[in-house]
């Protein structure tokens, strides 16, 4: 009887401690880099796209750098909690921040302890442009027709968070095209897809990863891609830039360290992550999400993109009146 | 790459794969039983390892963990009033009182059998009707969710019927808690007091641990001086065949509810279990026994929450839209394998569906054994003197609340919820209405706001949605149900007199 009790408490305790240990870092003072486990700090609970992508990157990076690397979730506040955590860690390359546009929008709104100048790009894992979609039985064949319809009656436009990337993208497009949106916010891309299918909304700006199936099967029609260049998978869909609207927004996922991290360590991190992402396993992961190899990018390209995305987001929010110019 | 049944069969009869499923089930039951460690977290942590496996074994492992995790939550809910996972909340309503009466083994046995029945029924639905049923998801827009939420909230009237006013106060308190965080439709922060951890609202799990386990701990601590009624060894007795006969209808009804609610993408096992519990009570011959420890009160929610796991896999696989948080992680697992869930998946890889079906079936059968054989072992926990048991539970509560997001704010939420729960309990308020308020508050408010935008702020828009209207009618019937029943009974007896 006693043995049984003991076992009942021991097994859970063992598993618990194993999980806790794998998530927390144990510091060992050494000269070489990496000298202790590297944490990649995410802003969501385990299970979302950011989490899955980070885990897929780390799998190969662990081997490439011969280091222990793990995902450290710091959920809350639209990335603010994660940014605050990273800000309190030493800038020695052992703490990496996984970012999405959410973080950049939060910084632009003045939330959290970091400014854009604190961020130094390491590598980009995914670049997923926003695509304007309608149901395929909709009367609307082109972006122009959608815009015209909005001038008569506001377009019911599904977005995720208010003030998030797809909301701002839609609002900026409407502003430049002088049409009206009636924004219907949902909790996630899956809900937008369901509601666009079910007819509760007219159009939405969805990521390709969220609606590739509905596109290929012919349930949805893509009217425009919010990027400068066309996407290979849907090569016949024009870009917003081609159509004369300079509205470029995409959902990116990439990795950053904070300003002050030694250059050689950033290079090492970049090398490890890039090697991992070029392996077939990661490429399979990208393909499963409807993306291709152009999705990944190194330090320079990614760092430039982060700054451009931030500036665009800031300008967009100023022109929408969400934030004030200072 | 056509992986048909012929391909799936040898893969699944491979001892290695069966071993994986057994391991997934065991880990799932343990993770599910520990408060704060949820099956979605377990699946997420296993995800990187599953990358080294072939697609079918990998998904088999993840889905076995998923359904075992849902079952595991009931063990701690019954034994120590600390639901190991949110779906097991309703199981604690009657499961824990049963354990207090010295019927822990009976409660655990009923929970195991109900879970497995619900789980297997939902798997059959998944196998035969997935593409068809998945279409339901499309016909559920915000107005339908609002109506469903209103229907579920109407259960407040019946869920514990002794003090309707206190239920209403409890329900409103829960709704108030659900308002914390950034409002989805306006983007405005409410009651966050500048704490970033509260932007996304008060986390459900710490509240749950506080309201159940910590509250119970405080009550137990108060009674320590009192002489303890020795719980007889009857605690180890398993349910009898007669017991099963009594809960048969509750299981069937709850399985149907569970599959339906599970299929809806935004709703999960927790709501299924709540509705399952309430319907079991509504249709029972002895509704007054609910809350005091009746086997129907365990069977109802347990069948429903496990049926919801199979239900949740339907839109996940057939549409690529996750039916629950854990299903979302499994969806991620499929994508990591380079597979795109959706309508094409079954045409291109029919073997995968069989793989998932067999893995979940095997997991269900396995935890029937774990549940029934283990019941005798687990039930001994209820024989541990409280002076030893509750300090251990207290430590477990902290780990559970902290482990979720590794956030100390969640630990404070747990402690506050525990203290509040204790004060409320002393004054005759039960946790059920509060939990319902929290679960439904966000859904009702958000879906109403969305509906009004869709209807251009015209209330009459709801009349154009037949499914929504049907749920409104059900809500009215549920509120006035008892009056209708007595009216009906009167008419019947009068007619009998006449003839």
Instruction: Give the closest residue to B382 by CA, choosing from B395, B393, B397, B373.
Output: B393
Decide: B134 and B314 in contact? Cβ < 8 Å: yes
Q: How far apart are CA B62 and CA B327, in angstroms?
A: 10
Q: How far is CA A306 from CA A172, A301, A302, B218, in A?
A: 19, 9, 6, 51
What pLDDT, on a 0 to 100 scale, did the predictor assign at position B226?
Answer: 59
- Could you read off the pLDDT of A2-46 as tens digits, one per residue? 445 545 555 555 555 555 545 444 443 445 888 888 999 998 776
- Secondary structure (3-state) at A129: strand
What pLDDT, on a 0 to 100 scale, did the predictor assign at position B85?
Answer: 82
A-chain residues near B185 (CB < 8 A): 162, 185
pLDDT at B414 over 70: yes
Number of CB atoms found within 10 A of residue B183's CB: 17
Please, which residues have CB within 8 angstroms of residue B212's CB and are 6 or more apart in sequence? Answer: B77, B81, B82, B83, B89, B92, B421, B431
What pLDDT, on a 0 to 100 scale, did the predictor assign at position B3?
Answer: 45
What pLDDT, on a 0 to 100 scale, did the predictor assign at position B411?
Answer: 93
From A196-200, B105-109, B154-158, the region with the lowest mean pLDDT: B154-158
What pLDDT, on a 0 to 100 scale, did the predictor assign at position B227?
Answer: 54
- The 3-state secondary structure of chain B reads CCCCHHHHHHHHHCHHHHHHHHHHHHHHHHHHHCCCCCHHHHHHHHHHHHCCCCHHHHHHHHHHHHHHHHHHHHHHHHHHCCCCCHHHHHHHHHHHHHHHCCCHHHHHHHHHHHHHHHHHHHHHHHHHHHHHHHHHHHCCCHHHHHHHHHHHHCCHHHHCCCCHHHHHHHHHHHHHHHCCEECCCCCCEECCCCCHHHCCCCCHHHHHHHHHHHHHHHHHHHCCCCCCCCCCHHHHCCCCHHHHHHHHHHHHHHHHHHHHHHHCCCCCHHHHHHHHHHHHHHHCCCHHHCCCCCHHHHHHHHHHHHHHHHHHHHHHHHHCCCCCHHHHHHHHHHHHCCCCCCHHHHHHCHHHHHHHHHHHHHHHHHHHHHHHHHHHHHHHHHHCCHHHHHHHHHHHHHHHHHHHHCCHHHHHHHHHHHHHHHHHHHCCCCHHHHHHHHHHHHHHHHHHHHHHHHCCCCHHHHHHCHHHHHHHHHHHHHHHHHHHHHHHHHHHHHHHHHC
A-chain residues near B325 (CB < 8 A): 47
CATH of A129-234, one of 3.40.720.10, 3.40.50.11720, 3.40.190.10, 3.40.50.720: 3.40.190.10
Place of tokens 């390491």: A122
CB contact under 8 A, B335 and A52: yes
What pLDDT, on a 0 to 100 scale, did the predictor assign at position A97?
Answer: 96
Cβ-in-10-Å burial (0-12, 13-18, 19+) of A241 comes to: middle
Substitution target from A69, A72, A125, A200 for chain B, most B beta carbons within 10 A? A200
CB contact under 8 A, B138 and A194: yes
Decide: B83 and B73 in contact? Cβ < 8 Å: yes
- Could you read off the pLDDT of B376-403 as tens digits, one per residue? 788 777 777 878 888 888 888 888 888 7
From A105-119, A128-142, A158-172, B85-99, the region with the lowest mean pLDDT: A158-172
Question: Mean pLDDT of all residues in chain B?
Answer: 83
Closest approach of A21 to chain B, Cα-based (Å):
11
- Could you read off the pLDDT of A184-229 as tens digits, one per residue? 988 777 788 888 988 899 999 988 877 887 888 888 999 999 988 8
B-chain residues near A48 (CB < 8 A): 328, 332
A-chain residues near B31 (CB < 8 A): 15
CB contact under 8 A, B266 and A77: no
Instruction: Give the closest residue to B89 by CA, choosing from B244, B302, B267.
Output: B302
CB pairs under 8 A between A and B: 178
Percent of chain A, pLDDT > 70? 89
What pLDDT, on a 0 to 100 scale, did the predictor assign at position B139?
Answer: 84
Nearest CA in chain B to A113: B196
A-chain residues near B377 (CB < 8 A): 4, 8
A112: phi then psi, degrees, rounded to nearest 5: 85, 170
- Could you read off the pLDDT of B334-351 as tens digits, one per residue? 777 777 676 667 777 777
Substitution target from B1, B76, B453 for chain A, most A beta carbons within 10 A? B453
A33: phi then psi, degrees, rounded to nearest 5: -120, 140
A-chain residues near B51 (CB < 8 A): 56, 59, 281
From A147-156, A229-238, B140-149, B157-166, the region with the lowest mean pLDDT: B157-166
Better-predicted residue by pLDDT, B181 or A40: A40
Sequence-separated contacts (24+) of A19-27 with Cβ below 8 Å: A19/B37, A19/B45, A19/B403, A20/B399, A20/B403, A22/A70, A23/A70, A23/A72, A23/B406, A25/A70, A25/A72, A25/A94
Tokens coding A33: 């880099």
- Could you read off the pLDDT of B211-223 as tens digits, one per residue? 888 988 888 888 7
What pLDDT, on a 0 to 100 scale, did the predictor assign at position B236?
Answer: 67
Better-predicted residue by pLDDT, A253 or A8: A253
- Could you read off the pLDDT of B266-285 as tens digits, one per residue? 667 888 898 899 888 888 88
Start-to-end CA distance of chain B, whole Å, equals 71
Tokens coding B187: 């983007």
CATH number at A35-127+250-319: 3.40.190.150
- What is residue A239's DSSP assignment? B
CB contact under 8 A, A213 and B33: no
Tokens coding A232: 């290979």
ipTM of the complex: 0.76
Q: What is the mean pLDDT of residues A105-116?
A: 88
Instruction: Give the closest residue to A46 by CA, choosing from A37, A55, A38, A57.
Output: A55
By residue range, what is the domain housing residue B175? 5-498
pLDDT at B467 over 70: yes
Closest approach of A262 to chain B, Cα-based (Å):
28
pLDDT at B156 over 80: no
Angle at A200 between CA B346 and CA A152, to 5 degrees: 135
Please, which residues have CB within 8 angstroms of residue A275's CB and are 6 or more apart in sequence? Answer: A60, A61, A64
Nearest CA in chain A to B449: A184
Decide: A231 and A237 in contact? Cβ < 8 Å: yes
Q: How far apart are CA B415 and CA B206, in angstroms?
A: 8
Start-to-end CA distance of chain A, whole Å, equals 71
Percent helix / strand / coil, chain A, rounded to 5: 50, 20, 35
Tokens coding A257: 């360290």
Closest approach of B333 to chain A, Cα-based (Å):
8
Nearest CA in chain B to A58: B48
Substitution target from B75, B316, B321 for chain A, most A beta carbons within 10 A? B321
Instruction: Give the closest residue to A204 by CA, choosing from A262, A256, A276, A130.
Output: A130
Closest approach of A35 to chain B, Cα-based (Å):
23
Q: How far apart are CA B268 and CA B277, in angstroms?
A: 15
CB contact under 8 A, B453 and A59: no
From A111-125, A186-200, B62-76, B215-229, the region with the lowest mean pLDDT: B215-229
Cis peptide before B98 (omega within 30 of 0): no
Q: What is the mean pLDDT of residues A132-147?
A: 93
Number of domains present in the structure of chain B: 1
Q: B122 falls in which pLDDT band (50, 70, 90)? A: very high
Q: Which segments of A116-164 does DSSP mark as H helices, in order? A: 143-152
Q: What is the mean pLDDT of residues A123-132?
A: 92
Strand partners, A207: A130
Q: How far is CA B106 from CA A164, A256, B372, B399, in A?
A: 51, 54, 10, 29
- Could you read off the pLDDT of B24-51 as tens digits, one per residue? 999 888 888 887 777 777 887 787 677 7
pLDDT at B5 over 90: no
Closest approach of A28 to chain B, Cα-based (Å):
22
Q: B237 falls in which pLDDT band (50, 70, 90)? A: confident
pLDDT at B6 over 70: no
From A20-29, A137-146, A292-301, the region with the lowest mean pLDDT: A20-29
Better-predicted residue by pLDDT, B448 or B344: B448
B-chain residues near A5 (CB < 8 A): 380-381, 384
CB contact under 8 A, A212 and B334: no
Question: Mean pLDDT of all residues in chain A?
Answer: 85
Strand partners, A255: A98, A123
Q: Considering only the beta carbons, identify the residue of A9, A51, A281 that sits closest to B392.
A: A9
Please, which residues have CB within 8 angstroms of residue B359's CB and are 6 or more apart in sequence? Answer: B12, B21, B24, B59, B60, B61, B63, B64
Strand partners, A206: A131
Instruction: Give the closest residue to B273 by CA, choosing from B255, B289, B286.
Output: B255
Closest approach of B201 to chain A, Cα-based (Å):
9
Decide: A188 and A160 in contact? Cβ < 8 Å: yes
Please, which residues have CB within 8 angstroms of residue B497's CB and are 6 or more apart in sequence? Answer: none
What pLDDT, on a 0 to 100 scale, did the predictor assign at position A264?
Answer: 93
CB contact under 8 A, A288 and B339: yes
Q: Considering only the beta carbons, identify the residue of B139, B186, B322 that sits closest to A198.
A: B139
- What is residue A294's DSSP assignment? G
- Secondary structure (3-state) at A126: strand
């Amino acid at each position: 009887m006693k043995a049984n009790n003991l076992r009942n408490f021991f097994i859970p305790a063992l598993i618990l401690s194993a999980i806790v240990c794998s998530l927390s870092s144990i510091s060992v003072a050494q000269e070489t880099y990496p000298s202790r486990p590297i944490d990649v700090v995410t802003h969501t609970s385990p299970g979302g796209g950011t989490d899955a992508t980070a885990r897929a990157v780390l799998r190969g990076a662990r081997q490439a750098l011969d280091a222990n690397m793990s995902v450290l979730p710091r959920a809350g506040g639209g990335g603010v909690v994660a940014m605050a955590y990273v800000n309190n860690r030493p800038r020695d390359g052992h703490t990496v921040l996984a970012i999405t546009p959410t973080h950049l929008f939060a910084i632009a709104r003045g939330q959290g302890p970091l400014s854009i100048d604190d961020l130094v790009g390491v590598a980009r894992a995914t670049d997923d442009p926003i695509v304007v979609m309608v149901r395929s039985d909709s009367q609307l064949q082109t972006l122009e027709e959608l815009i015209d319809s909005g001038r008569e009656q506001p377009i019911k436009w599904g977005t995720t968070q208010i003030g998030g990337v797809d909301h701002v993208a839609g609002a900026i497009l409407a502003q430049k095209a002088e049409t009206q949106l009636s924004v219907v916010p949902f909790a996630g891309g899956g809900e937008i897809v369901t509601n666009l299918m079910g007819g509760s909304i007219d159009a939405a700006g969805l990521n390709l990863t969220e609606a590739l199936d509905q596109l290929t099967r012919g349930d949805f029609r893509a009217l425009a891609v919010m990027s400068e260049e066309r996407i290979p998978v849907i090569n016949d869909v024009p870009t917003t830039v081609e159509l004369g609207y300079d509205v470029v927004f995409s959902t990116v996922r990439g990795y950053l360290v904070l300003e002050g991290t030694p250059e050689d360590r950033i290079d090492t991190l970049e090398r490890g992550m890039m090697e991992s992402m070029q392996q077939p396993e990661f490429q399979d992961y990208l393909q499963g999400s409807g993306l291709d190899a152009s999705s990944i990018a190194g330090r320079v390209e990614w760092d430039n993109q982060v700054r451009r995305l931030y500036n665009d987001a800031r300008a967009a929010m100023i022109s929408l009146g969400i934030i004030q110019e200072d | 790459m056509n992986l048909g049944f012929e391909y799936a069969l040898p893969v699944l009869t491979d001892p290695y794969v069966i071993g994986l499923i057994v391991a997934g089930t065991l880990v799932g039951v343990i993770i599910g039983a520990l408060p704060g460690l949820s099956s979605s977290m377990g699946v997420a942590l296993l995800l990187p390892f599953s990358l080294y496996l072939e697609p079918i074994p990998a998904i088999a492992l993840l889905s076995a963990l998923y359904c075992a995790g849902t079952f595991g939550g009931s063990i701690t809910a019954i034994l120590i009033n600390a639901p190991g996972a949110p779906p097991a909340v309703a199981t604690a309503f009657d499961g824990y009182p049963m354990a207090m009466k010295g019927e822990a083994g009976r409660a655990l046995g009923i929970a195991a059998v109900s879970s497995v029945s619900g789980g297997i029924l939902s798997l059959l639905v998944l196998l035969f009707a997935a593409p068809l049923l998945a279409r339901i998801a499309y016909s559920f827009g915000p107005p339908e969710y609002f109506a469903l939420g209103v229907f579920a909230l109407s259960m407040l009237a019946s869920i514990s019927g002794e003090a309707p006013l206190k239920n209403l106060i409890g329900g409103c308190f829960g709704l108030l808690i659900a308002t914390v965080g950034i409002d989805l439709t306006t983007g405005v922060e409410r009651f966050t007091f500048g704490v970033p951890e509260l932007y996304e609202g008060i986390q459900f799990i710490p509240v749950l641990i506080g309201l159940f386990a910590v509250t119970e701990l405080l009550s137990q601590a108060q009674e320590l001086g009192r002489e303890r009624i020795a719980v007889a060894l009857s605690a180890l007795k398993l349910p009898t065949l007669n017991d099963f006969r009594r809960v048969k209808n509750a299981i069937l009804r709850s399985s149907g509810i569970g599959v339906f609610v599970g299929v809806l993408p935004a709703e999960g096992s927790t709501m299924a279990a709540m509705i399952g519990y309430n319907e079991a009570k509504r249709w029972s011959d002895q509704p007054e026994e609910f809350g005091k420890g009746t086997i129907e009160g365990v069977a109802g929610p347990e069948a429903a929450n496990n049926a919801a796991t199979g239900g949740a896999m339907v839109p996940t696989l057939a549409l690529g839209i996750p039916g629950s948080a854990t299903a979302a992680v499994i969806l991620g697992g499929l994508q990591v394998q380079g597979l795109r869930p959706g309508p094409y998946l079954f045409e291109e890889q029919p073997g995968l569906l069989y793989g998932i079906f067999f893995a979940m079936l095997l997991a269900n059968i396995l935890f029937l054994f774990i549940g029934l054989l283990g019941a005798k072992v687990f039930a001994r926990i209820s024989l541990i003197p409280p002076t030893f048991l509750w300090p251990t539970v207290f430590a477990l509560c902290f780990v559970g609340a902290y482990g979720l997001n590794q956030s100390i704010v969640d630990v404070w939420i747990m402690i506050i919820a525990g203290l509040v729960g204790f004060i409320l309990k002393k004054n005759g308020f039960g946790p059920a209405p509060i939990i319902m308020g929290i679960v439904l508050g966000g859904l009702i408010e958000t879906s109403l706001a969305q509906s009004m935008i869709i209807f251009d702020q015209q209330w009459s828009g709801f009349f154009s949605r037949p499914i929504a209207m049907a749920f409104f009618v059900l809500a009215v019937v549920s509120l006035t149900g008892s009056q209708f029943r007595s009216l009906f009974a009167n008419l019947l007896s009068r007619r009998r007199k006449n003839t």
